[in-house]
Amino acid sequence: MALLLVSLCLAAVITLYFRNNPLGHSRKFMIRRFVNWFPLGMTYAFLYMARYNLNVSKNAMGDMMTKEQFGLIFAAGTITYGFSFLLNGPIVDKIGGKKGIIIAALGSALMNLLMGGVTYLYLMGRLKTNMVLAFSVLFALNMFFQSYGAVSIIKVKAYWFHVRERGVFGAIFGTLISFGVYFAFDWGQAIVNASQLHIEGEKTAFQRFIQHIFAIDTGTTNATWLVFTIPAFLLLVWALIDFILLKDSPKEANFDDFDTADASSAPGENDDNLKISIGFMLKKIFTNPVMITIALVDFTSGVLRNGIMQWYLVYAKETEQTNPAFFEGSKFFINNWGLLLCMTGIFGGFAAGIISDRLFNSRRGPPAAINNAMMIVLLIIMTFSLFRHPTVFGLSAILITLAVIGVHSLMSGTAAADFGGKKMTATASGIVDGCVYLGSGIQSLAIGYLSHRDWTYWPLFLLPFAFMGLWLSIRMWSELPAATKKYILEVEKAEIKKQEREGTTGDPAQA
């Protein structure tokens, strides 16, 4: 049933993509652009599966990996991810998104295979080094390679999508993130369940398939390492597909390049002979107050997004012993966490993108502010329903992910490319996405520490970041790149002239 719902959502996303064509691209171009972004996007979704499988493995290992240990490992990865963009963003701007996404897929696949190997050795009692140290190093390297993925998908998007189309592409970006979360939590949990040494009741077809293909009957322990190795093999497949199908720009796919009306279209910025060094790009971005605001908004979204996604299952699992009634009331959310994150993330991304493009002339600040205001209300509700009302608490957590994916897809997936321009879009979106994971690293350390003492601190810790996100979003309420303003003005003038001509033609007295 879950797979059917996800498939229907994917079909709806594809339909919306083909129906959204404000620039009147040819049918042939729309199909070729779909062939370009779909495998690129699915690779990114499976990169997410190969990232959040760590969360699934923590629950599978139980007390063998404590909350503090998990928090340290996750923080090591997310902080590495955040700082790696200073290197990887400029590199992708130089080499292109195709090479970048292939590096991401291959590198992450290798690190996941190694994490699977460490998990195997640990469960078999053969690990000769500290588990936390081994996982921290490998997960940090995994996140280093993963950082190529986000900037690569935005880099390719910057050449293929006009600013007036990017709100909807931001929604597609959010959808791909949501699919990745679904793959990680629900498919990952299905892999863990199928890899158990002793399965109660009749085995499902998937469990029989996994046990037959991977011959996992060790006789001593669950084959939890498969939650790392299976995503690794999937990434290798998608890397091959990307190598065959992906093109960095319309020109490489035998179409004419077109003016995307982002910051690269401003006077003096659209010179093909302009030398753009790493230092030039970093200076351009770090001296742009709008880019700094976008990065700070996404920093708050990183705290809020992973502050919910990373810890809800851990919290709910703990209540099984301390508050059985609350645990029973949380079972629907526990059993469907990945699917719920996927559905709400898709809706949140599309709502924010469509509102941005159609109601606010492609301004990204207004819908980000609306979503942050929603999160403030929901975090207050979470605080008062903690330990008391499992359904209200679970719904609030899920709706926060809806709002925060809307913010993230607008800031990292859209606004950074708008204001960075297609020539520097990987560097710009990389720095913005890096701030997301710096925020994620901070919350991982803080909540891992605070929740060990009292879970009440959890939503209270997140609340100031939602207020900060609201304030910053309001500050950038009216911001648009100069080239986008010029494009919108020209479109409005053309529309007025068209209406005047039609009015003159339709009125016999004027004729």
Q: What is the pLDDT of residues 438-497, one digit of tens each?
A: 888 888 888 878 877 788 889 999 999 999 999 999 998 888 877 777 777 877 787 788
Compute the mean pLDDT over every residue in the chain, rounded to the nearest whole number: 82
Q: Is the pLDDT score of 171 beyond 80? A: no
Q: For the chain, which domains are there?
A: 39-251+278-488 (1.20.1250.20)
Give the pair of three-digit tokens for residue 249. Answer: 């720009």
Phi, psi of 201 (to 5 degrees): 75, -170
The answer to whether the beta carbons of residues 38 and 175 sit under 8 Å apart is: no
The answer to whether the beta carbons of residues 390 and 502 sit under 8 Å apart is: no
- Full DSSP string of 257-287: -----SGGGSTTT--TT----HHHHHHHHHT
More confident residue, 372 or 421: 372
- State the Cα–Cα distance between residues 150 and 30, nearest whole angstrom: 22
CB count within 10 Å of CB 509 equals 4
Helical (H) or strand (E) element with 199: none
Question: CB-based contacts of 10: which residues, under 8 Å, 6+ apart?
Answer: 179
Q: Identity (one letter) of the amino acid at 39? A: P
- State the Cα–Cα distance between residues 115 and 98, nearest whole angstrom: 26
CB count within 10 Å of CB 213 equals 10
Give the pair of three-digit tokens for residue 158. Answer: 């910057």
pLDDT tens for 138-152 read 999 999 999 898 888
Note the pLDDT of residue 271. 46
The answer to whether the beta carbons of residues 381 and 225 sit under 8 Å apart is: no
- Give start and end residues of each alpha helix (H) in 96-165: 97-123, 131-160
Q: Which long-range contacts (CB under 8 A, 24 or more apart) does 191-194 make?
A: 191/56, 191/226, 191/227, 191/230, 192/56, 192/57, 192/59, 192/60, 192/222, 192/224, 192/226, 192/227, 194/226
pLDDT tens for 84-120 read 877 888 888 889 899 999 999 999 999 999 999 888 8
- State the Cα–Cα distance between residues 350 and 338, nearest whole angstrom: 18
Residue 470: name the closest of 350, 306, 353, 296 by CA. 296
DSSP state of 195: T
CB count within 10 Å of CB 34 equals 13
Q: Is the pLDDT score of 132 beyond 90? A: no
- State the Cα–Cα distance between residues 433 and 65, nearest whole angstrom: 28
More confident residue, 234 or 188: 234
- In which band, very low, low, confident or very high, does the pLDDT at 355 lie, cut at 50, 70 and 90? confident
More confident residue, 84 or 196: 84
- State the Cα–Cα distance between residues 314 and 483, nearest whole angstrom: 47
- State the Cα–Cα distance between residues 357 and 353, nearest whole angstrom: 6
Q: Lowest-confidence range among 177-186, 196-205, 331-340, 409-418?
A: 196-205
CB count within 10 Å of CB 182 equals 29
Note the pLDDT of residue 301. 92
Note the pLDDT of residue 406. 86
CA distances for 176 relative to 150, 332, 384, 427, 434, angstroms = 11, 24, 33, 21, 18
Count how many residues are written for the chain.
511
Note the pLDDT of residue 511. 41
What is the average pLDDT across 274-298? 76
- State the Cα–Cα distance between residues 32 and 258, nearest whole angstrom: 15
- State the Cα–Cα distance between residues 113 and 121, nearest whole angstrom: 12
Note the pLDDT of residue 19. 81
Question: CB-based contacts of 63: which residues, under 8 Å, 6+ apart?
Answer: none
The owner of tokens 């209540």 is: 319
pLDDT tens for 381-431 read 999 998 888 999 999 999 999 999 889 888 876 777 777 776 777 777 788
CA angle 391, 395, 399 (to 5 degrees): 175
Exposed, middle or buried: residue 214 (CB in 10 Å: 0-12, 13-18, 19+)? middle
- In which band, very low, low, confident or very high, does the pLDDT at 326 lie, cut at 50, 70 and 90? confident
Q: What percent helix, strand, coil does the chain show, rounded to 5? A: 80, 0, 20
Helix axes 27-61, 166-182, angle to 10 degrees: 30
What is the maximal distance between C-alpha atoms in the chain?
Answer: 93
Note the pLDDT of residue 153. 85
Q: Is the four-CA dihedral 193, 115, 41, 266 of positive or negative sign?
A: positive
